Amino acid sequence: MEFDIKNVDLAPGGRHRIEWASQEMPVLKGVLQQFQAERPFAGLRVGGCMHVTTETANLMVALQSGGADVVLCASNPLSTQDDVAASLVAHYEIPVYAIKGEDNQTYFNHINAIIDHKPHIIMDDGSDVTSTIHKDRRDAMSTVIGGTEETTTGIVRLRAMAKDGALEFPMMAVNDALTKHMFDNRYGTGQSTMDGVIRATNYLIAGKVVVVGGYGWCSRGIAMRARGLGGNVIVTEVDPLKALGSGDDGFLRDANDGSGSFGDIFTSAHRRHAISWTKHHFEVMKDGALAGNSATFTSKSTKPRLRELSIDDPAYGRLWNSSPKTGVSQPARRRSFINLAAAEGQSLQCDGI
Amino acid sequence: MEFDIKNVDLAPGGRHRIEWASQEMPVLKGVLQQFQAERPFAGLRVGGCMHVTTETANLMVALQSGGADVVLCASNPLSTQDDVAASLVAHYEIPVYAIKGEDNQTYFNHINAIIDHKPHIIMDDGSDVTSTIHKDRRDAMSTVIGGTEETTTGIVRLRAMAKDGALEFPMMAVNDALTKHMFDNRYGTGQSTMDGVIRATNYLIAGKVVVVGGYGWCSRGIAMRARGLGGNVIVTEVDPLKALGSGDDGFLRDANDGSGSFGDIFTSAHRRHAISWTKHHFEVMKDGALAGNSATFTSKSTKPRLRELSIDDPAYGRLWNSSPKTGVSQPARRRSFINLAAAEGQSLQCDGI
Amino acid sequence: MEFDIKNVDLAPGGRHRIEWASQEMPVLKGVLQQFQAERPFAGLRVGGCMHVTTETANLMVALQSGGADVVLCASNPLSTQDDVAASLVAHYEIPVYAIKGEDNQTYFNHINAIIDHKPHIIMDDGSDVTSTIHKDRRDAMSTVIGGTEETTTGIVRLRAMAKDGALEFPMMAVNDALTKHMFDNRYGTGQSTMDGVIRATNYLIAGKVVVVGGYGWCSRGIAMRARGLGGNVIVTEVDPLKALGSGDDGFLRDANDGSGSFGDIFTSAHRRHAISWTKHHFEVMKDGALAGNSATFTSKSTKPRLRELSIDDPAYGRLWNSSPKTGVSQPARRRSFINLAAAEGQSLQCDGI
Amino acid sequence: MEFDIKNVDLAPGGRHRIEWASQEMPVLKGVLQQFQAERPFAGLRVGGCMHVTTETANLMVALQSGGADVVLCASNPLSTQDDVAASLVAHYEIPVYAIKGEDNQTYFNHINAIIDHKPHIIMDDGSDVTSTIHKDRRDAMSTVIGGTEETTTGIVRLRAMAKDGALEFPMMAVNDALTKHMFDNRYGTGQSTMDGVIRATNYLIAGKVVVVGGYGWCSRGIAMRARGLGGNVIVTEVDPLKALGSGDDGFLRDANDGSGSFGDIFTSAHRRHAISWTKHHFEVMKDGALAGNSATFTSKSTKPRLRELSIDDPAYGRLWNSSPKTGVSQPARRRSFINLAAAEGQSLQCDGI
């Protein structure tokens, strides 16, 4: 069996955690039992490109129990849990291609490894597998029956392809399920984003001014949880109806970016967020302000902006724009950026990561 | 039996409401039964100067059941419930001197009527009976055994007298009871203040910016309930520790009155409030802003300020500084003031009213 | 000009309040100015059957400013504000047929008075005008161009008619607007329901156990505001997805009516509510429990149930199932029922009233 | 320089984190600058027994800047951050005696190492240094000038000693400071307890029933944050006034342990908690229930109870009462116990840890 993971010796801890997570997934447990009895996927290959976490692991195991020949890669280079990847390989014999922190080249090599598997069914999270097959790996096209896509962003891409007549197999829009966008996006992303902030910073949230970019389902969850932890939340939103809703939910609305100068923590959950990470915004932020993005890994649009601001590596562990080493002079004003999905040990997954 | 009330014919409705209120006062019910058995006040005259409401009525009935010869006047000219006064007179034979909206002269005539009764025990709410006896009615001094005082403001006055050796009988500080300042001031004043705002204005609170003056026990309750109704709350507080607490409770702190220009509703719960009602403050308020005071009836310090702003009558029903009659030109900017205690039918009592 | 209202002398107070409300309706103000310039309704008769309140009054005035010949009756016999009706007649020359507390016969006479007006456009709230024209007043059919319907319940009736091919003119479903069901149903009904409870009962909500029937948009608002006022909220909901949402919003879910025995306040916002007012439910309620309905006036299905429980008149002012007069023995257990829409002076309107 | 820490090579990461924390401690920064100028502790030895964390490190550095000869050991074997201990030794030349997870014998050896230092001033957190000097190390008594004690528990012990005339030097009760019990106990413990639960379990709190034992300052914070994260909170409290307050704050009160059977998460913040960890309580808990204690390390009273329940090691990482290894039969019902202070990487400190 081929695979590409960090260290197979991490498997015992991973299994421990996969089993712990399964205790909190009673519906999937029921589905697994039905799958074991009915074997609906017998003879089918399933290629998943998802966050390699304990929850995904349980999903993979359920599909395998249903007869599927499963293979998995990461949809985000930063969220992979290496012990979980190890356990899937060692205990469940599921080939995994995912290493936390992998570089861009490795990321795409792993996607191609999934495609080499010639999946009948694709489980996509951002539509990278789907678009790669359409563009570069047409050799794998004929065996694909269809697939699922989890994120808003991915669905936007697929709908554009479908409209142009370019989508050559059917994809189900998982994000459209009420249980996805009303629950996962709101409660899941809400808790995990604030959890990411706490793990990366050790901040007491009570008393902090938290500026939430946008008021979509994810940002609603972030705003709700930031307030629940004692933060004072200001929402920036350009859509009038959502802005109205944020005010009626009791959040101060900031129509003209005035909060830039007194916010302590700035979050965003979408590439097209109301706080766009321009040089201007970072410049008005006060000393010690913290900006975090829970929606995407180091995106093409974010990186140049951060470089422009001398924040050369946005990953967790390199939080500010100048070396904090003792004896080295600090800049007059620190402005930090966190990729929240990468906060060590963060608890849950964000939708668009 | 002498008394001075609005209309004894209102008695049936008053009794109905007194009995309804008694259902929600289980502890007082138990006390009443004990009093009926033990008659601890037999032979004693009790003079109460309190809000003449259904709750006070039940307290008076309990004292009467304990053998007391009870007489009652109003501690606030605006909070008197005329039907309750009527029922106390008609059904319980308790002399009441209180008419909603009574003028200053009548107010003090009523206090003197209580003193004419030569009370052994005084139940004061603002210390007007106590100070009148000490200053103008020394003829009633010899029969007084002592009394109780309910408000922070009254206690401040009494402590000053005691310090000067001028307080000639003992007074119990009811406000110091945990069940008073932690519960009545916070939960009671909190709900009733926002209730007063809604009754006076018919506003939807969701989406409104509510500026709360101070962060004492009353203001904490107001802030809590304003947020609970969907308002975005900003707290102005000069005491550093209380200001810190307001921030940690998730409220935006306003150190330099900046919220004056964008607040929708301004509340205060104390004479020495952080938002002092100066000309300056009213002038920066935006069009349609509303200021309300739940702490005191038309005080000596408030009235001249309001007149200076051309707000000639702060009582409920005359909300703004120019006649709203159709055809009469409105001022460019409306700034309203409500005495929240006077909002028609307001549900509960504020501590310092 | 014909009309049927309580007392035209109430007009000045009504005008005062209509103008106050207009200050909080900036969008309608803008629409009115556009209407004055463009006169889009010139030559058209509009027949409204709506809650006769200050807000509706401003809507009628705006339509009139647009050239419409407007006539208005009440969609609920209990919500009419008699002073507003008087002002519309006296100051705006709009014929109104609405008297607070009118009986069923008068209610339908008033609907017929609107139809006598031969409206081109109908503004319905519960679809009583529309269904009366279709069934009993076909003489008015030919002049109708179409209309609007505001409530979920009314839309359900109209959709059934449309499906059967029985709806003879087009109706717009106002309730489908996001600003209606996401805002009015949630924030409006939420605040006004709790406001109705407080006005009817004078309860301190803090510390009360509030059982909310269902978790639709209205009930979500009620649950949110009951918690915001310090209540501990339990939600009963049979739809699994909504039940899941209520739990994730932090409310205790009650799957098996177990809360019946310890709830203090029971609300419902729909005829098909999760707490159906059966004898069983009232019987398990504890002494002093209070049930309120903010969704509908004394409905056909509610009345017999209440009679069965010896609660002969559910309107405000007759709150319990036995006379509370002093000297009359009380029942061992009081169970009260409030029609929240009828609470004297209640601030806002509920959707389905 | 003598010291006893895990690994001095961890120092760079520790310094990085100490400096990060200092950015959030502006008051201490100001104090440090004053200390540098005034050197108030010149010639004095200070022995601290506290949580060895980034915040304590900054306190030690400030004292050192004021001229103190500082030495530090751990007040809790589980909360020590080994990288911080290493940095204090390597970069600041402060002797530290603390290793995360140290056993009881090592713990007391480290306390004796502090005493060997012959401190003039003691900074105690649980009063172990103070009581050891009084009982076993009277050789160090003569040089002690006095000290500080941080916890409620420690102060109770010291007050008892003082009452018996047994306390031989003065101790300041830090916990009595408003900024300590109103802020640290409430906001600090509140966030860190829920953070500990999330780190140990990866649970989504939204929708969970959280049973909070007691309603003191710490438990108030836990209840507030558990609700803020979407939990439905039930409070068990035997003190009537605190129980009343918990209800008025909107939490369901559980007078008779009825919540034992349906709670998902049980917390406690005191040795004398309302939920006492008896066999009875664990037995009624439902399958998967989780009990956590954020108040104390493996206390003398807790350990035997846990052993009785076959939960042999309550530390993080061994969460349940039977091995979770695959292939080993699970018990019918899992009941887990977490020492929240020991959750890997938990963000903040609890008062009584």
| Structure-model confidence comparison of residues B269 and A302, the more confident one | B269
Mean pLDDT in chain A?
Answer: 82
B19/C198 Cβ within 8 A: no
Contacts of D248 in chain B (CB under 8 A): 183, 186-187
Q: What is the mean pLDDT, run by run of 10 residues, along chain B of 353 residues?
A: 96 89 87 96 97 93 98 89 96 97 92 98 94 97 96 88 96 87 82 84 89 88 95 89 90 72 80 54 75 62 59 38 32 54 44 24
Give the pLDDT confidence of D38-65 residue by residue, as tens digits. 999 999 999 999 989 999 999 999 999 9
pLDDT of C109 > 80? The answer is: yes
pLDDT of D325 > 50? The answer is: no
Q: What pLDDT, on a 0 to 100 scale, did the predictor assign at position C347?
A: 45
**A195 confidence band (pLDDT: 50, 70, 90):** confident
- Cα gap D162→D155, rounded to integer Å: 10
> CA-nearest residue of chain B to A231?
B250
**H or E element that contains D131:** helix D128-135
Give the pLDDT confidence of D130-165 residue by residue, as tens digits. 999 999 999 999 999 999 998 877 898 899 999 999
Highest mean pLDDT among A244-258, C255-269, D104-118: D104-118
Mean pLDDT in chain C?
Answer: 82
C248/D209 Cβ within 8 A: no
pLDDT of C301 > 70? The answer is: no
**C310 confidence band (pLDDT: 50, 70, 90):** low
Q: Which of D340, D198, D291, D295 is nearest to A198 (CA)?
A: D198
Q: Which two tokens stand for residue C126?
A: 């519960």
Q: State how far residue D338 is from chain C, nearest Cα, in angstroms.
A: 23
Q: State how far residue D287 is from chain C, nearest Cα, in angstroms.
A: 18
Q: Which of A269, A272, A274, A242 is nearest to A256 (CA)?
A: A274
Least confident of A103-112, A139-148, B239-248, C255-264: C255-264
B249/A252 Cβ within 8 A: no
**D337 confidence band (pLDDT: 50, 70, 90):** low
**D309 confidence band (pLDDT: 50, 70, 90):** low
| Structure-model confidence comparison of residues B322 and C157, the more confident one | C157
pLDDT of A288 > 80? The answer is: no
Q: What pLDDT, on a 0 to 100 scale, did the predictor assign at position D167?
A: 96
* H helix intervals, chain A: 11-22, 26-38, 54-65, 82-90, 104-116, 128-135, 152-163, 178, 189-201, 217-228, 240-248, 279-284, 302-308
- What value does the mean pLDDT take over residues D258-286? 69
Q: What pLDDT, on a 0 to 100 scale, did the predictor assign at position D341?
A: 53
pLDDT of C320 > 90? The answer is: no
| Structure-model confidence comparison of residues C346 and D305, the more confident one | D305
Q: What pLDDT, on a 0 to 100 scale, did the predictor assign at position A295?
A: 60
Nearest Cβ partner for B187 among C198, C230, C334: C230
pLDDT of C276 > 60? The answer is: no
B183/D244 Cβ within 8 A: yes
Q: Which 8-state DSSP code applies to residue D286?
A: P
C232/D251 Cβ within 8 A: yes
Q: What pLDDT, on a 0 to 100 scale, did the predictor assign at position A239?
A: 86
Q: Which two tokens stand for residue B233?
A: 């709350």
* pTM (2 d.p.): 0.85
D179/B244 Cβ within 8 A: yes
Q: What pLDDT, on a 0 to 100 scale, did the predictor assign at position A308?
A: 60
Q: Please, which contacts does B38-42 make with residues 24 or more away whose CB atoms are closer than 8 Å?
A: B38/B66, B39/B66, B39/B67, B40/B66, B40/B67, B41/B66, B41/B67, B41/B68, B41/B121, B42/B66, B42/B67
- What value does the mean pLDDT take over residues D344-349? 43
- In the block, tokens 């409006």 appear at C188
pLDDT of D328 > 60? The answer is: no
pLDDT of C331 > 60? The answer is: no
Cβ-based contacts under 8 A for chains B and D: 18
**D180 confidence band (pLDDT: 50, 70, 90):** confident
- What value does the mean pLDDT take over residues C316-334? 35
Neighbours of C239 (CB within 10 A): 13
Q: What pLDDT, on a 0 to 100 scale, did the predictor assign at position A351?
A: 27
- What value does the mean pLDDT take over residues A321-331? 33
Highest mean pLDDT among A38-47, B301-310, D183-192: A38-47
| Structure-model confidence comparison of residues B307 and C176, the more confident one | C176
- Cα gap C154→B330, rounded to integer Å: 40
Cβ-based neighbours of B84, under 8 Å, separated by 6 or more: B14, B17, B18, B52, B53, B54, B56, B57
Residues of A with CB under 8 A from a CB of C: 178-179, 182-183, 186-187, 241, 244-245, 248
Contacts of D191 in chain A (CB under 8 A): 198, 204-206, 229-230
Nearest Cβ partner for A251 among B232, B247, B251: B232
Quick check: helix, strand or coil at residue A345?
A: coil
Highest mean pLDDT among A297-301, C315-319, D233-237: D233-237
> For chain A, how far is it from start to end, CA to CA, in angstroms?
28
Contact C311, C320 (CB under 8 A): yes
B179/D244 Cβ within 8 A: yes
Q: Which two tokens stand for residue C242?
A: 């909504």
Q: What pLDDT, on a 0 to 100 scale, did the predictor assign at position A314?
A: 40
Residues of D with CB under 8 A from a CB of B: 178-179, 182-183, 186-187, 241, 244-245, 248
Q: Model ipTM?
A: 0.83
Contacts of B254 in chain A (CB under 8 A): none
**C277 confidence band (pLDDT: 50, 70, 90):** low
- Cα gap C339→C200, rounded to integer Å: 9
**A258 confidence band (pLDDT: 50, 70, 90):** low
Q: What pLDDT, on a 0 to 100 scale, did the predictor assign at position C20?
A: 82
Contact A61, A31 (CB under 8 A): no
**C87 confidence band (pLDDT: 50, 70, 90):** very high
Contact B60, B30 (CB under 8 A): no
pLDDT of D117 > 50? The answer is: yes
Q: What pLDDT, on a 0 to 100 scale, did the predictor assign at position B92?
A: 97
